[in-house]
Structure 1
Amino acid sequence: MSVLGYVRVFAVSTLLLNLLVVYLIVFATPKSLGNFRWHILTLHNFQMIFEFGIIYCEFPFLGLPAFVGFTVGLFTEFGIGIYWQMVFSSFVLFSMLSMVQLIVFSRHQAILPANHWLKLGKVARDLWIYSCYSLPAFCSLTMAVLLWSYDYHAALGKIENKYPYLSPFFHQPSSGQTNPSVTLVLWSLGRASIQQVLAYIPIQIFGAFVGTATAYLDYLETLNFYDGGRRQIDGPNGTLCFFVTCIAPYSTKLSALFDQIVGTAILCMTMAAMLDPKNGVPKFLHPLFGGLTVLTIGLAFAQNDAYPIHAARDLGARLFMFIIYGKGVWTKDDYYWWVPILGPLIGGFVGAWLYVLFIDFHAWSNREEDEVEL
């Protein structure tokens, strides 16, 4: 029997011991410990997932895939890539660390005197507990972004040799964007096909539709309290502009259109500069820089019409609001609805092509062979 076989036999033998620990935590732990025992149970469950995940699913442990190179566990047998295996390992590991922190915090709070300055109130303790339970998800998302730029392709190559039908999923770049302006710009630059454009834009609009519906249902009781259950577009109890962009009272459609062209042009010009491989911006920083760009545009250009800079974001939301408010969503502000759609589409082309014409075309001597991977 191989070493791996002995390891797995040992893992099976520990299953009964782990189940015994679960039984003791649930039924033999003093009830006076309260929620503390459930924190211990959660920690033990993640420990079991970690143990069996490493032994059965990811052997050897994917701490440094550039050094390990490949895995021989069940995940590999089912064609799950190393990237996703590392994200899984990160989530379980962060969960264990978070539970250890929560256990220490709970016991520390339990033994502190009532008047101690470190003693937290019930609300603060609950917030800390909820944050500990949600922390692994946020840490794993951060790890996923960082790992995306890591050199794990050599290890993926070993899997692709065994599962060649999975190769398109490993190295196929995507031109998908949530913003139709960016999608159309990529098409105009030859980095997206017309088929991708026709597929992405309806999905982008549908995504905004679903997102608006979710937000509306989440705030339904708040809206009922605000307007007494009578949806109104305008007036002191008007709520339409909570979900779609509306023009300021002192602004005109022409100035709002210009505002959207400028705002989206800045967005797409910045994105073009960031995605240009000659500028050397690390890929794991793209989400951060993109978010800061949108934040900056919002701080500078939100006064006139709330800076939609995103045709699908406004059109998808307006389509859902049409179900709730009726045709007034189209006639409000003298048929303003087309401005946050046309403005971003024009601005996207203006910004991206300004970068191409005035910067990119003048750097042919330094052009790299690699295409931008989106």
Structure 2
Amino acid sequence: MSNTDIIVGEVVGTALLILLGAGVCAAVTLKKSKAQNAGWLAIAFGWGFAVLTGAYVSAGVSGAHLNPAVTIGLAITGGTEWSQVPLYIASQFVGAMIGAALAWVAYYGQFQAHMADLANQPEPAETEGDAKAGPVLGIFSTGPEVRKPVLNLLTEIIGTFVLLIAILTQGLNDSGKGLGALGVLITALVVVSIGLSLGGPTGYAINPARDLGPRIVHALLPLKGKGSSDWGYAWIPVIGPLVGGSLAALLYNVAFA
């Protein structure tokens, strides 16, 4: 697989993933959105379909990792060369930032209406889960409902472990470049399952690029009243998925390979 394939596939695929994933969060959250208050089911299925779209587009080009935890896991199991890991991860972060920026552009009018409405309302009482996060950060990145770092980290480890063991046990398609069409669908459904079953505590980042890339975009956005990007929490959705993915890969090597 060439470096160009990796860059194109991972940038485009991850950008589509985040555009649609952040897009469903914006649709459910923002004022003047037709989908406002559609709820957690909409978010879980929206993210699953986002994975389906991004992975389907990029599977034949780069193998559709779209996630540093997947890349590290595949490197541990021998499915990816370690020399290619930095390029995969860098491309994923670039794609995630592009996707987040595009989601902001798509919902620009709704962001403006939402922030203007918030500016005219008294500030709500802070809760443990949102005390350090800005009012629209959840569109871009994850955050805990109960801020307990050890428990939050464990949740991300467990969720990513489920994702990686499901991916690794599917095997590769005949081209040897990544999951086939059925594998892409199965992976998307696994993401929906993780969101519905394990997403409640932290919002299930299960992907360092998915969380950190859009968090950086949130920090850079010229959006008045956007509030904090909650950098004190940002390490958890990075380290947790990397640990969870690595543990799944080690188990795969021992029990499935």
* TM-score, normalising length: structure 1: 0.44
Equivalent position of 1:271 in the other structure: 167
Equivalent position of 1:206 in the other structure: 94
The alpha carbon displacement at 1:330 in A equals 4.1
Question: Within 1, Cα distance between the matches of 2:118 and 2:90?
Answer: 31
The question of whether the paired residues in 2 share the 8 Å contact of 1:182 and 1:348 is answered with yes
The alpha carbon displacement at 1:225 in A equals 1.0
Matched, 1:329 2:229: yes
Match of 1:343 among 240, 245, 255: 240
User: Which amino acid in 1 is paired with 2:112?
Assistant: N
Equivalent position of 1:358 in the other structure: 255
Give the direction of change, closer, same or farther, for the CA distance of 1:336–1:287 in structure 2 (3 Å limit): same
Equivalent position of 2:158 in the other structure: 262
User: Which amino acid in 1 is paired with 2:98?
Assistant: V
Higher helix share: 1
User: Which amino acid in 1 is paired with 2:89?
Assistant: I
Question: Within 2, Cα distance between the matches of 1:251 and 1:304?
Answer: 9
Question: Within 1, Cα distance between the matches of 2:219 and 2:61?
Answer: 36
User: Which amino acid in 1 is paired with 2:65?
Assistant: Q
Name which one, 1 or 2, has greater alpha-carbon Rg.
1
CA offsets, 1:250-296, max 9 Å, x none?
A: 2411111000000000110111111168xxxx933111111111110
Match of 1:244 among 132, 141, 159: 141
Matched, 1:306 2:199: no
Which structure would you say has the larger RCO, counting Cα contacts within 8 Å and 6 or more residues apart?
Answer: 2
Give the direction of change, closer, same or farther, for the CA distance of 1:320–1:359 in structure 2 (3 Å limit): same
Equivalent position of 1:101 in the other structure: none
Question: Within 2, Cα distance between the matches of 1:330 and 1:351?
Answer: 28
User: Which amino acid in 2 is paired with 1:354?
Assistant: L
The alpha carbon displacement at 1:230 in A equals 7.7
RMSD between superposed Cα atoms in Å: 2.9
Question: Within 2, Cα distance between the matches of 1:251 and 1:176?
Answer: 32
Matched, 1:294 2:182: no
Equivalent position of 2:37 in the other structure: none
The question of whether the paired residues in 2 share the 8 Å contact of 1:260 and 1:307 is answered with yes
User: Which amino acid in 2 is paired with 1:201?
Assistant: I
CA offsets, 1:147-179, max 9 Å, x none?
A: x9xxxxxxxxxxxxxxxxxxxxxxx98455111
Question: Within 1, Cα distance between the matches of 2:61 and 2:136?
Answer: 41
Question: Within 2, Cα distance between the matches of 1:209 and 1:229?
Answer: 27
The question of whether the paired residues in 2 share the 8 Å contact of 1:175 and 1:192 is answered with no
Give the direction of change, closer, same or farther, for the CA distance of 1:176–1:194 in structure 2 (3 Å limit): farther
Helix, strand or coil for the counterpart of 1:329? coil
Equivalent position of 1:215 in the other structure: 103
Aligned residues: 182
Stretches of structure 1 that go unaligned for 5 or more consecutive residues are 1-140, 149-171, 361-374
CA offsets, 1:85-115, max 9 Å, x none?
A: xxxxxxxxxxxxxxxxxxxxxxxxxxxxxxx
Question: Within 2, Cα distance between the matches of 1:192 and 1:258?
Answer: 26
Match of 1:319 among 216, 220, 223: 216
Give the direction of change, closer, same or farther, for the CA distance of 1:238–1:284 in structure 2 (3 Å limit): closer
User: Which amino acid in 1 is paired with 2:189?
Assistant: L
The question of whether the paired residues in 2 share the 8 Å contact of 1:257 and 1:339 is answered with yes
Instruction: Please list, as runs of the form range in 1=range in 2, the aligned pairs for 1:58-137 lying within 5 A after superposition.
Output: none
Question: Within 1, Cα distance between the matches of 2:71 and 2:182?
Answer: 20
Equivalent position of 2:84 in the other structure: 196
Question: Within 1, Cα distance between the matches of 2:233 and 2:245?
Answer: 20
Give the direction of change, closer, same or farther, for the CA distance of 1:350–1:287 in structure 2 (3 Å limit): same
The question of whether the paired residues in 2 share the 8 Å contact of 1:206 and 1:316 is answered with yes
Helix, strand or coil for the counterpart of 2:111? helix
CA offsets, 1:95-150, max 9 Å, x none?
A: xxxxxxxxxxxxxxxxxxxxxxxxxxxxxxxxxxxxxxxxxxxxxx99xx7xx9xx
Helix, strand or coil for the counterpart of 2:144? coil
User: Which amino acid in 1 is paired with 2:168?
Assistant: A
